[in-house]
Amino acid sequence: MNAVVEHLPQRGIVQSTGRLSASEVVQHAMVVQDVMRAVMKPELHYGKIPGTDKPTLFQPGADVLCMTFRIAPEFSIEDLSTADVVRYRVTCRGVHQLSGVTLGSCVGEASSGEEKYKWRRAVHDKEFDATPPALRRVKYSKNWETKQVRTEPADVANTVLKMAEKRAKIGMVLNVTACSDMFGQDLEDLDAVLRDSLVGEGQPEPQQTAPAVWPADKFAEQFARWNKAVSAGLKTAADILALAKSKGELTAEQETAINALKAPAPAAEEAREAGNDPQ
């Protein structure tokens, strides 16, 4: 009697069937880099968000990568809206256009409860005053303040849906093309104030250090040059003082010495001072 023996893969051994070789992985990464250099443009296809360590992939950049690798995005939408909030969860599948094989997917979500959709600027002070207190606020920033009222969720429903689709698509492209080491996501879509607070999260506050005081030897060396410049009429004492203060902190004696620098008097004035007025 012949027994059927099932050969199971040994634990810890990577199977070679269907996997990419190391050279193929390198070639794939090189294609992404070549497309980034030759086709993509900064601030159009990707951009640098202050405080981040890598550029953020924008939707036009995701479209370029989809075209490069023949990826067709397919969306399925889940409506999670309530009476007060419009909310969508979207799954984006990346399907290979030639083979029909699903390469990967990602889930994206957006809601009218997000900061940038929840509030809008009041068009007039009368509108702000007529809005119930629970549906209005004054938004403060570092340098400004503005009166805002709640947005009607239905007014932003389509925008919220498109944003959910966009987030899912960009996430899918990053997953399928394995380029998340080159590009980021998410921060571009956040409210600017919230984004600034997040990218700075966990970072120590910059230490306020006093400007360095001019060393005596360096000051003496520069003072000789400054004196020549003022004597030649190329600079004034005020010019030198501003320049010196931009480079470091001056002592009272150093500042007095700079203020004492004088340009040469015109010939006529020199003659008068000497008592030989030519007139």
Q: Is the pLDDT of residue 260 over 80?
A: yes
pLDDT tens for each residue of 13-43 = 445 566 777 888 888 888 888 998 899 999 8
Mean pLDDT of the chain, nearest integer: 80
Nearest to 172 by CA among 58, 74, 68, 92: 92
pLDDT range class, residue 186, cuts 50, 70, 90: low
Among 3.40.50, 3.30.230, 3.40.630, 3.30.390, name the CATH number for the domain at 24-111+154-199: 3.30.390
Q: Which tens digits make up the pLDDT trace of 147-182? A: 999 999 999 999 999 999 999 999 999 999 988 878
The pLDDT value given to residue 204:
47
Nearest CA to 135 out of 121, 119, 159 is that of: 119
Distance CA 75, CA 64 (A): 18
- The candidate with the shortest Cα–Cα distance to 99, out of 74, 76, 75, 72, is 72
- Residue-range domain boundaries for the chain: 24-111+154-199, 113-150, 216-273
Structure tokens at 67: 């075209």
Strands 119-121 and 136-140: unpaired
Helix (H) or strand (E) holding 103: strand 102-111
Q: What is the pLDDT of residues 189-248, one digit of tens each?
A: 555 554 454 444 444 444 445 456 778 888 888 888 888 888 877 778 888 888 888 777
| Amino acid code (one letter) for 245 | K
pTM of structure: 0.61
Three-class SS state of 276: coil
Q: pLDDT grade, residue 259 (50/70/90)?
A: confident
pLDDT of residue 198: 43
Name 165's Cβ contacts closer than 8 Å, sequence gap at least 6.
Answer: 75, 77, 90, 92, 108
Question: According to the model, what pLDDT value does residue 26 have?
Answer: 82
Neighbours of 197 (CB within 10 A): 12
Q: What does each C-alpha distance from 186 to 52, 126, 158, 164, 168 come to in angstroms?
A: 11, 36, 19, 11, 10
Q: pLDDT value at position 230? A: 80
